[in-house]
């Protein structure tokens, strides 16, 4: 759920940032498409450099997009990592439980043989 919210916020900030770049800097971003292209490059951390903001307002917008992208990538990375760790933990728990059960069965069998051998010795005296 949190990842979905963060993805949605990232999308909105990216689109809004692209539109704001166009509104605030007509020279560098003559079309909304060019502003969106810049925002997309920034949020994906590609940064071709073919379009760059020159005004302070554009740089502030770019910084907000960058920080949003960093947060988004961190959440995605954490979600994937948590999923992999949980999967590994479940697999380990299932495997170790079966191994432990098998070992306990072996110990019980061995104990039964020892008890039987002791009974045979005590009854033969």
SS (H, E, C) 5-36: HHHHHHHHHHHHHHHHHHHHCCCCCCCHHHHH
CA distance 37 to 14: 10
Is the distance from CB of 39 to CB of 17 less than 8 angstroms?
yes
Total Cβ atoms within 10 A of residue 66: 15
Q: What is the pLDDT along the chain (125 residues), one digit of tens a residue?
A: 777 888 899 999 999 999 999 999 888 999 999 999 999 999 988 888 888 898 999 999 999 999 999 988 888 898 889 989 998 888 887 777 777 788 888 999 999 999 998 888 888 76
Residue located via tokens 């039987």: 116
Note the pLDDT of residue 79.
87
Domain parsing of the chain, residue ranges: 2-123
3-state DSSP call for residue 123?
A: helix
Fold of 2-123: Helix Hairpins (1.10.287)
């Amino acid at each position: 759920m949190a990842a979905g919210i963060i993805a949605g916020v990232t999308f909105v900030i990216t689109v809004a940032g692209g539109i704001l770049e166009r509104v605030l800097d007509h020279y560098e971003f003559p079309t909304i498409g060019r502003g969106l292209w810049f925002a997309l490059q920034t949020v994906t951390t590609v940064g071709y450099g073919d379009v760059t903001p020159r005004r302070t307002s554009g740089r502030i917008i770019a910084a907000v997009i960058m920080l949003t992208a960093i947060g988004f990538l961190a959440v995605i990375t954490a979600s994937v990592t948590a999923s992999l760790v949980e999967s590994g933990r479940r697999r380990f728990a299932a495997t170790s439980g079966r191994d432990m059960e098998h070992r306990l069965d072996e110990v019980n069998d061995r104990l039964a043989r020892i008890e039987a051998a002791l009974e045979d010795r005590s009854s033969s005296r």
